[in-house]
């Protein structure tokens, strides 16, 4: 079945530094990937839609200069949290859909802690 | 305003019973609705999809219904087992290929 690999699974960084999260579709091509953020006991909130070879589409209220998304190939999208602050601490998850599947495949998530 | 509500934050049932989870939505016109399972610290895993023109779908011990008049979906797990303990998320899709819109989830605990 379709697999989406997300790395790292956990990262702790200092306030003011940048962190890159990778999301790879291992056995299918994904022209579109989605990035979500989830706070404890909250729903997954869509941050942006990542499109291969073009600019990402960001949801209202998500700072595109802070959350840089690059989708340079059909199997890789990256999310870089720039100048991270403690309030950026959250669970970040990517997803994509293989053409023949009814559901979306999610990565295992990245727990970001900014100290 | 637009809302997706999963009415119970937590549901506790005994092994062998049927768990019924509810998802209601307001001011959306979904083309389909999906249910996912999420374990702590993990990404969601797809379980079932039901389209707007379908009333019911089944997969093994799982059943989902979709009532577009009531704007509600019910998700049933029959003969529940402790291994079914997890958070279950409902998600709406307004168009094929676009991002899903998620509810907060219901955390199910099945005791033996």
Please write the tens of the pLDDT for every residue from B67-103.
999 999 999 999 999 999 999 999 999 887 889 999 9
Tell me the residues of B at the A interface, defined by beta carbons under 8 Å apart. Answer: 4, 9, 34, 36, 41-47, 49, 89, 97-105
B34, A104: Cβ pair inside 8 Å? yes
A46, B99: Cβ pair inside 8 Å? yes
Minimal-distance CA residue of chain B relative to A37: B43
B43, A95: Cβ pair inside 8 Å? yes
B99, A42: Cβ pair inside 8 Å? no
Question: DSSP string of chain B?
Answer: --EEE-S-SEEEEETTSPEEEEEEEES---SEEEEEEE-TTS--EEEEEEETT-SEEEETTEEEEEETTTTEEEEEESS--GGG-EEEEEEEESSTTSPPEE---EEEEEE-
| Separation in Å, CA B24 to CA A67, A75, A102, B104 | 31, 35, 21, 11
How far apart, in whole angstroms, are the C-alpha atoms of residue B10 and residue B8? 5
B46, A34: Cβ pair inside 8 Å? no
- pLDDT, position A69: 95
A46, B101: Cβ pair inside 8 Å? yes
Taking all residues of chain B, what is their mean pLDDT, rounded to a whole number? 95
Please write the tens of the pLDDT for every residue from B12-55.
999 999 999 999 999 999 999 999 999 999 999 999 999 999 99
Please write the tens of the pLDDT for every residue from A11-45.
999 999 999 999 999 999 999 999 999 998 899 99
Q: Which of A36, A49, A104 sits opposite B46 (nearest CB)?
A: A104
- pLDDT, position B8: 83
Which of A102, A110, A111 would you mutate first to test chain B, the one with the most B CBs within 10 A? Answer: A102
């Amino acid at each position: 079945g379709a697999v989406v690999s997300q790395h790292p699974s956990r990262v702790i960084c200092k306030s003011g530094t940048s962190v890159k999260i990778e999301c790879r579709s291992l056995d299918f091509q994904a022209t579109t990937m989605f990035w979500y953020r989830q706070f404890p006991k909250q729903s997954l909130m869509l941050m942006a839609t990542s499109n291969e070879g073009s600019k990402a589409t960001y949801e209202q209220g998500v700072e595109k200069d802070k959350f840089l998304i690059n989708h340079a190939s059909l199997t890789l999208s990256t999310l870089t949290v720039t100048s991270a602050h403690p309030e950026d601490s959250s669970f970040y998850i990517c997803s994509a859909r293989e053409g023949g599947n009814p559901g979306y495949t999610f990565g295992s998530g990245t727990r970001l802690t900014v100290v | 305003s637009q809302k997706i509500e999963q009415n119970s934050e937590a549901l506790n049932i005994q092994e062998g019973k049927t768990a019924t989870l509810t998802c209601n939505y307001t001011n959306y016109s979904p083309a389909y609705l999906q249910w996912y399972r999420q374990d702590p610290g993990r990404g969601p895993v797809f379980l079932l999809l039901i389209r707007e023109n379908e009333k019911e779908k089944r997969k093994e011990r799982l059943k989902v219904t979709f009532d577009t008049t009531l704007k509600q979906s019910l998700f049933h797990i029959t003969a529940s087992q402790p291994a079914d303990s997890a958070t279950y998320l409902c998600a709406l899709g307004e168009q094929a290929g676009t991002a899903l819109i998620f509810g907060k989830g219901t955390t199910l605990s099945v005791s033996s």
